[in-house]
Chain A
Amino acid sequence: MLGIVRQKMLEQSLKKIPPAVSVLRSYSSAAKQMTIRDALNSALDEEMSADSKVFLMGEEVGEYQGAYKITKGLLDKYGPERVLDTPITEAGFTGVAVGAAYYGVKPVVEFMTFNFSMQAIDHIINSAAKTNYMSSGQISVPIVFRGPNGAAAGVGAQHSQCYAAWYASCPGLKVLAPYSSEDARGLLKAAIRDPDPVVFLENELLYGESFPVSDEVLDSSFCLPIGKAKIERKGKDVTIAAYSKMVGYALKAAETLEKDGIDAEVINLRSMRPLDRSMINASVRKTSRLVTVEEAFPQHGVGAEICASIVEESFAYLDAPVERIAGADVPMPYAANLERMAVPQVEDIVRAAKRTCYRSVS
């Protein structure tokens, strides 16, 4: 009996102790894990809750909970007026959303993949991007276009193209590409709050991946600045600049390179437009070598733009020519072996980094 009483007293006194245990746990950097999917979903949920002008549009975003379940639960929570399932017409619903943005509400348009945004690209470029300028500031377009971009797995040519370079070349747009869950939350929130049109390029294969998130990231006011890249891994021998899924590949490549005594600095670009030229240049001035990595087609790509920026501003600092790693210059094939050869692999990045360091790659 005394034992039970003592146990009960212990339980009670334990309850009285402030939750130091859980606080300690949350201060740990690897405390919570969050998938990209949940990160995007929570960001949408919080922004819709905070601003009644925000609404979602797209195919299957409502009843189906989203083609990739990114908008899960939002129809139930916010109702059909704010989560609109649209007929199959990218041109149509993009035009409708642009018009709504002209009026002053804040649409978040989902493309099932950015490949289908081609059917709406006139509304994105000629209307959304240019209207603020053409109307001399009278009509702003606070719209976000989001969806999976780039290669998935085994989906063939019309479902695998990366549109970062296409959209990033157009003045008037802002173009973002998150890598981690922190990126996904912070950048999507920033995009929704931004008064300019934003193209938000996600990646289908990353949706299920988990990343550690701090309490700060989980806070509903969390926001990342648009136009700033992030140094994911500090290094001194070579700069590897990448975006979206390729950041993960670059980090893996950096691990391999470390074993060979090459200390790589990995930059997560986060923002294609505006491009964080100052950070990239500062990094290259430190390391003197650059490898750019993208899954997209090589010609006129993000890597080409970064290379031009380095040549213009930090030419004297380069100790080796810039290396570009990109997807093969062919429409994406379907067969698994061919597909693997058409996209960059970690080994390609490792070899490129070694080349910049004048190491033998054989």
Chain B
Amino acid sequence: MASWGRRSSGMVHHIKALSKVELRGKAGAMKGGWWRYPLQPGVASALVPRSWPCVNTMASLFLVQRFKSSLPQKQVEDDDGDQDLDFPGGKVAYTSEMKFISGSYDKRIPCYRVLGDDGELIKGGSDFEKVNKELAVKMYSDMVCLQIMDTFMYEAQRQGRISFYMTSFGEEAATISPAAALTKDDIILPQYREPGALLWRGFTLQEFVNQCFGNKDDGGKGRQMPVHYGSSKHNFVTVSSPIATQLPQAAGMAYSLKMDKKDACVVAFIGDGGTSEGDFHAGLNFAAVLEAPVIFVCRNNGWAISTPTSDQFRSDGVVVKGQAYGIPSIRVDGTDALAVYSAIRAARSMAINEQRPVLVESLAYRVGHHSTSDDSTKYRSLNEIEHWKTDRDPVNKFRKWVELNGWWSERDEADLRSSIKKQLLKAIQVAEGTEKPPLTELFTDVYDLPPSNLVEQEKLLRQTVNKYSHDFPSDVSLH
């Protein structure tokens, strides 16, 4: 597998430049010079001299766009006198040297970041999207809110108040920054660990808690298990449990946006594990072929329940898969709120202005268990968890930066935390005391209009409940 070298600074600059590159293939001499030919077929070696001087050990090799096939032409002779293969899909240069593209990587794709662990801007870094005080404070507050909500709701499950919960510990920036970088018209298709995005868009703590308790005020009418949020008002498609089904669906939604010529895109989230599903291939391939404005955000958190990424794939993570579909991709530090924000802003611009998909792999360790049904200490070390929880916490990192800018104080911190705690406790109390959804909601929304058999079933059920009320729980509201 080819190694990719990129200058760490000016990453965003590269991304912006990509859009301007029609087709440019550069043969690069890598370390040791073992690899001399363009990575991708379709680039006539005539475009570039064979011996490209190696400026630094990380020579760039960008092949942005696949060679678009043109009408069959006469065989073209390049500078070296070699012929090209005129084949469906585009011209391919011949070679007399049999060489396999390596399956392993010499050097991994580096990970874009803006902030260091101490919350300081990386020296020499530039070109990140500037975030003003108002935006930064909202981002930070929402990250804290998500963390506290997760803590309380996890506890609530442990106490038996709700049946199930999933936390986002370690991934606060990975889900809130993307939402901050989008507009409210961009449609989000989550996997299931993105409540941060919904929180950003204005879903209230009470609404979150109501859904987990499945009471009559739940916008989802008690239909779904906890954390399966959805709100068409917030352009957040209802969470669907089967993994990766949202990816081809995202391509379809994006295609529809394109047909409507809307100034908006679709953002679909997926985990590292989800990229193994067939739908990952179908979704990305389709989005590329349809030229649909969709951003695929892969939250690589290192674990799919107990399956580490080393058992999930043998590629250099997920970022390298984008090129296989003709999709521009980037790897970003998911614990760095500013890096994620910049990357998604750039991706959105690319997706909408060029009407094409983009892949973003965000690396942010899953600090919590997979869910309340999981005990991750069974398959990973406490040290590892502790390290990511304390030394690499995205919320702490961002707070340091916000404080360095003079936008946040200890007092603000204390006020925020106590306010959220109070709201949450109130929300839980209210949710617990609210009635469950009425019987009617068992039968509505199966179809647009209730069919006669369901109308009949409901009537029958009411009669039965009324007649044998002692056989039914007392909290079944017949209204």
By the criterion CB–CB under 8 Å, are A91 and B453 in contact? no
- A178 at the B interface (CB under 8 A): no
Residue B250 at the chain A interface, CB threshold 8 Å:
yes
Whether the pair B286, A133 counts as a contact (CB closer than 8 A) is no
Residue in B closest to A105 when the chains form the complex, CB atoms: B256
State whether A132 and B445 are in contact (beta carbons under 8 Å apart), knowing that A93-B286, A95-B247, A95-B279 are contacts in the complex.
yes
B254: A residues at CB distance < 8 A: 99
The one of B230, B241, B247, B452 in contact with A135, judged by C-beta atoms closer than 8 angstroms, is: B230
Chain B contact surface mostly: helix
- B238 and A92 form a contact (CB under 8 A): no
- In contact, B255 and A174 (Cβ under 8 angstroms): no
In the bound complex, residues from chain A placing their C-beta under 8 Å from that of B221 are 136-137
B259 within 8 A of A: yes
- The answer to whether A102 and B259 have CB atoms under 8 Å apart is no
Structural contact, A139 and B230, CB atoms closer than 8 A: yes
Q: Which residues of B contact A140 (CB under 8 A)?
A: 448
Q: Which of B224, B248, B445, B446 contacts A99 (CB 8 A)?
A: B248
Given contacts A105-B259, A135-B220, A139-B230, contact A89 B249 (CB under 8 A): no
Residue A172, interface by CB 8 Å: yes
Give the number of chain B interface residues (Cβ < 8 Å): 48
- Restricting to B248-262, which residues have a CB under 8 Å from any CB of A? 248-257, 259
Mask of B218-229 contacts with A, CB within 8 angstroms, 1/0: 011101100010
Q: Return A223 CB to nearest CB of chain B, in Å.
A: 16
- Rounded to whole angstroms, the CA-CA distance of A359 and B249 in the bound complex is 56
Chain B residue contacts of A227, Cβ below 8 A: 451-452
Which of B231, B232, B245 is within 8 Å of A127, CB to CB?
Answer: B245
| Interface presence of B274 (CB below 8 A) | no
Q: Is A196 an interface residue (CB 8 A)?
A: yes
Chain B residues within 8 Å of A97, by CB = 252
Task: Please state if B238 and A195 are interface contacts (CB–CB under 8 Å).
Answer: no
A133 to B442 alpha-carbon distance, docked (Å):
9
Whether A126 pairs with B240 at a CB distance below 8 angstroms is: yes
A51 within 8 A of B: no
A138 at the binding interface (Cβ < 8 Å) = yes
**Do A103 and B240 touch across chains, with their CB atoms under 8 A apart?**
no
Pick from A84, A139, A274: contact of B238, CB below 8 A: A139
A residues 260-288 near B (Cβ < 8 Å) are 274, 277
| A96/B248 in contact, CB under 8 A | yes
Which of A84, A91, A100 contacts B278 (CB under 8 A)?
A: A91
A134 and B282 within 8 A (CB): no
| Min distance, Cβ B101 to any Cβ of chain A, angstroms | 23
B283 within 8 A of A: yes
Measured in the bound complex, the distance between the Cα atoms of B294 and A99 in whole Å is 12
Q: Is the CB of B223 within 8 A of A95?
A: no
Q: Which of B219, B224, B446 has the most A CB atoms < 10 Å from its CB?
A: B446
Q: Which residues of A in the span 327-356 have a Cβ within 8 Å of any Cβ on B?
A: none
Contact count band on A: 35 or more
Taking a contact as CB atoms under 8 Å apart, the answer to whether A95 and B283 are in contact is: yes
Contact flag A91-B248 (CB < 8 Å), given A131-B238, A131-B240, A139-B232: yes
Report how far A27 CA is from B232 CA in the complex, Å: 51
Q: Knowing A87-B285, A93-B286, A171-B446 touch, does A274 contact B249 (C-beta < 8 A)?
A: no
Q: Is the CB of B448 within 8 A of A91?
A: no
Is the C-beta of B289 less than 8 angstroms from some C-beta in chain A? yes
Question: Which residues of A are found within 8 Å of B257, using beta-carbon distances?
Answer: 103
Residues of B within 8 A of A245 (CB): none
Task: Give the distance in Å from the alpha carbon of A135 to the alpha carbon of B233 in the complex.
Answer: 12
Q: How far is the CA of A354 from the CA of B227 in the complex (A)?
A: 58
Docked Cα-Cα span, A104 to B257, in Å, equals: 10
Q: Tell me the complex Cα distance, A228–B286, Å.
A: 38
Is A123 located at the chain interface by the 8 A CB criterion?
yes
In the complex, how many angstroms separate the beta carbon of B456 from the nearest chain A beta carbon? 10
- Is B245 a contact partner of A103 (Cβ separation < 8 A)? no
A134 adjacent to B252 (CB under 8 Å):
no
How distant is the Cα of A94 from the Cα of B223 in the complex, in angstroms? 24
B242 within 8 A of A: yes
What CA separation (Å) do A15 and B360 show in the bound complex? Answer: 72
A165 in contact (CB, < 8 A): no
| Cα-based distance from A184 to B443 in the complex (angstroms) | 30
Instruction: Mark out the residues of chain A between 310 and 339 whose CB falls within 8 Å of any chain B CB in the assembled complex.
Output: none
- Give the distance to chain B from A338, nearest Cβ to Cβ, in Å: 34
Contact partners of B224 in chain A: CB under 8 A:
134
CB distance from B234 to the nearest CB of A (A): 10
Q: Which residues of A contact B246 (CB under 8 A)?
A: 99
B359 within 8 A of A: no
Query: Contacts of A127 on B, CB cut-off 8 Å?
Result: 240, 242, 245, 249
Decide: A103 near B446, CB < 8 A? Known: A91-B279, A274-B451. Answer: no
Residues of A within 8 A of B290 (CB): 84, 96
What 7 pairs across the A-B complex have the smallest Cβ distances?
A95-B248, A92-B282, A99-B249, A99-B252, A96-B252, A100-B252, A103-B256
Q: Can you list 8 A-B contacts with CB-CB less than 8 angstroms, sorted by A residue number?
A: A92-B281, A94-B248, A98-B248, A99-B248, A99-B253, A122-B245, A132-B447, A139-B238
